[in-house]
Amino acid sequence: MPLEFKETTQDKVLKGKIKIAVVIVAVFFSLIILRLCYLQIIKGAKYAELSTNNRIRQTALPAPRGHIFSSDNQTLVDNTPSFDLILIPQDTLSIDAVLNDVSALLSINKENLADLVQSRRGRPRFEPIVLKKNLSWNEMSTVLSKKNDLPGISIDVVPRRRYLTDVRAPHVFGFLGEADQQDISLSSSRPYRRGELIGKYGLEKWAEDTLRGTCGFLQTEVDAFGKRKNVLAKIEPRGGKDIWTTLIPEVQKAAEHMLEGKTGAVVALNPRNGHILAMASAPLFDPNLFSRGISPADWRYFTSHPHHPLMNRAIQSQQPPGSIFKIVTIVAALEEKIIDPEHTFFCPGYFVLGNRRFGCWKKEGHGHVNMQNSLIVSCDTYFYNLALRLGIDTLVKYAEILGFGFPGGIELGGERPGLLPSPGWLRGKTGARWQKGDTLNFCIGQGFLQATPLQMALVYSGIANEGLVYRPTLIARTSKNGLENAEVLRRFSLAETTFDFLKNTLCDVVHAPNGTGYNARVPGALVAGKTGTAQVVSLKKKPEKGRPVPRHLENHAWFVAFSPVEEPEVVVSVFLEHGGGGGGNAAPVAREVIRAFYEYKKKRGI
């Protein structure tokens, strides 16, 4: 008979404890296995990379951007070496201690350094952090002398964009900025790296794919302290390609010099091919401030400045053109044959329409004026008479033919189209009906009409070139030998007698004894041009006579010219915001730009 053992209470307790212990051990080993799976499978690649970077490090070698030259091979934008202070967190045991040492050595606020490091949290520890850009020679030598005491600190040599100070043209060349997340995420055969500087404005942006180079890489073996032991592989960076602009530095410098202390723009172009010889906008700014990333303080200054220095007024400032628009009214009158050019109107200094009086700029009047004299002395009353005979639809038709309301299509971004108003436009915009008074304002370049300095240069280019207008361009070529073909923007047909009348009369505006453009005369050259003074506010709103006029109430000054008259080689458009009279203030600017053009030709033997 088998023996039976009776399970005691103590045995039951012991068995329960064993089961609990088994469960605990099983859970413990399960957690270990899960953790190993996480580390080996899910995070394996990351930790393998970290392990590799403890001894093998791959560093990007920035590529220099292509240079920008003038068409005659003068260097306008190039690169110069710049030195950055770099921290690699992986190579130091105490970031805080290193930051203390760096702060003391270079007199940098430690909190600022700590903020830079903090902003990079979450990135791999072997990824470099730039603590300071553009080290001076003294700062660099100080760091190098203490290099052994600064684990994790190194100095990188990177190319810095340099815009030559004697020909700034910042609104043409533009500037660089750090690639943002959108730039980085865009699919590209050459993806951007975090922190890489790319073209953000002007030609730097337009020609980004051409100017941008291809980064190289340096693979090195380092020790536990991050010090280089061996170079394992090196791929040299490939610099960007160069571009050649149409700018003539001597003409550009003259334009910038004449705009000093003013707000406005100058455009000089060759009517034979559309080449921009000078494009200046004021106030200027220094694009070198953007070369390695602009500081927050400088950026706040530019964006809050009342005169908006980052605005390219040559293509973005839309203003009433004033009397430089009067050639449109003349063209319409001649082409429609509504009046004999010798017919005169009497100007008493004003024109009455209903119960309103429209003044002429000369309050005492011009007396009897024919078509030629109306342009020479810029008599508003004569044009009021023409406008009522022509009607607004005819005026709009010829304004459109000459190019108002259309952008030029220049390479720079942000070009504005101006505004060519019409009865239909006004009705759609405000619901109001077009009045005859609106037509009187329109015919002298006032009211709703708006144009940019570049547009006005193109309009006069069409007159100078007898109906052929080339698309404006800043690019002469993108290789040393190849030339860009001139592209026709528009063609229009006018009677030969109309072109002859305009050229001869615009020449008289400058060279006749009573011409309003006499300040644009250039010794030894025939200049044709037209002054314009665009009224900003009604005369009733201006201070009483004898009291100073606040700057923001001053008229805008315009002057557009071409030279020589028979075979024009240069067209110059000048706009001075709140600059006063066109003849007294804008014409001298054009004179100096045209003079610089002829001096350049003489110097080059062209």
Q: How confident is the model at residue 194 (pLDDT cuts 50, 70, 90)?
A: confident
Dihedral over alpha carbons 470, 474, 476, 479 (to 10 degrees): -140
Average pLDDT of the residues in 352-378:
96
Q: Name the strand (E) or helix (H) holding 199.
A: strand 197-201
Where do the structural domains in the chain lie, given as residue ranges?
56-245, 249-284+312-604
Q: How confident is the model at residue 548 (pLDDT cuts 50, 70, 90)?
A: low
Pairing, β 488-491 against β 475-477: unpaired
Side chain identity at residue 210, one-letter code:
T
Give the pLDDT score at 214: 86
* Predicted confidence (pLDDT) per residue in 378-414, tens digit: 999 999 999 999 999 999 999 999 999 999 999 998 9
* Predicted confidence (pLDDT) per residue in 127-161, tens digit: 888 898 889 889 988 998 888 889 889 888 888 89
Top-level class of domain 249-284+312-604: alpha beta
Structure token digits, residue 561: 């010219």
Give the pLDDT score at 346: 97
Instruction: Lay out the sheet containing 528-534: strands in order across.
Output: 276-282, 264-269, 570-576, 556-563, 528-534
Coarse DSSP helix, strand, coil percentages of the chain, rounded to the nearest 5 percent: 40, 20, 40
Please tell me the distance from the alpha carbon of residue 248 to that of residue 253, in angstroms, as a whole number. 9
Q: How confident is the model at residue 50 (pLDDT cuts 50, 70, 90)?
A: very low
Q: How confident is the model at residue 227 (pLDDT cuts 50, 70, 90)?
A: low
Q: pTM for the complete prediction? A: 0.84
Return the SS3 of 423. helix
Return the SS3 of 324. helix
Can you spell out the DSSP letters for 560-588? EEEESSSS--EEEEEEETT---IIIIIHH
Please tell me the distance from the alpha carbon of residue 396 to that of residue 443, in angstroms, as a whole number. 10
Q: Alpha helix (H) ranges present in 261-352?
A: 296-304, 313-316, 326-336
Give the pLDDT score at 18: 74
Taking 90 as the threshold, does the pLDDT of residue 578 lie above it?
Answer: yes
Q: Which residue has the higher pLDDT, 31 or 489?
A: 489
Please tell me the distance from the alpha carbon of residue 394 to that of residue 396, in angstroms, as a whole number. 5
Q: How confident is the model at residue 539 (pLDDT cuts 50, 70, 90)?
A: very low
Structure token digits, residue 441: 């304002």
* Predicted confidence (pLDDT) per residue in 313-347, tens digit: 999 999 999 999 999 999 999 999 999 999 999 99
Please tell me the distance from the alpha carbon of residue 144 to that of residue 124, in angstroms, as a whole number. 25
Of 1-15, 26-40, 190-204, 403-417, give the range with the top mean pLDDT. 403-417
Lowest mean pLDDT among 154-158, 458-462, 528-532: 154-158
Give the pLDDT score at 449: 97
Average pLDDT of the residues in 238-246:
94
Instruction: Please name which of 530, 523, 526 lies closest in space to residue 587, comparing C-alpha atoms.
Output: 530
Please tell me the distance from the alpha carbon of residue 560 to that of residue 451, in angstroms, as a whole number. 13
Instruction: Please name which of 253, 280, 252 lies closest in space to residue 266, comparing C-alpha atoms.
Output: 280
Residue with tokens 């270990």: 32
Dihedral sign, CA of 22, 26, 32, 35? negative
What's the CATH number for 56-245? 3.90.1310.10
Contact 220/235 with Cβ under 8 angstroms?
A: no
Asked, as a colleague might, if the bond just before 283 is cis with ω within 30 of 0, I would say yes
Average pLDDT of the residues in 72-95:
90
Taking 70 as the threshold, does the pLDDT of residue 63 lie above it?
Answer: yes
Please tell me the distance from the alpha carbon of residue 256 to that of residue 166, in angstroms, as a whole number. 10
Give the pLDDT score at 544: 55
Q: Which residue has the higher pLDDT, 548 or 569?
A: 569
- Report the mean per-residue pLDDT for the chain: 88
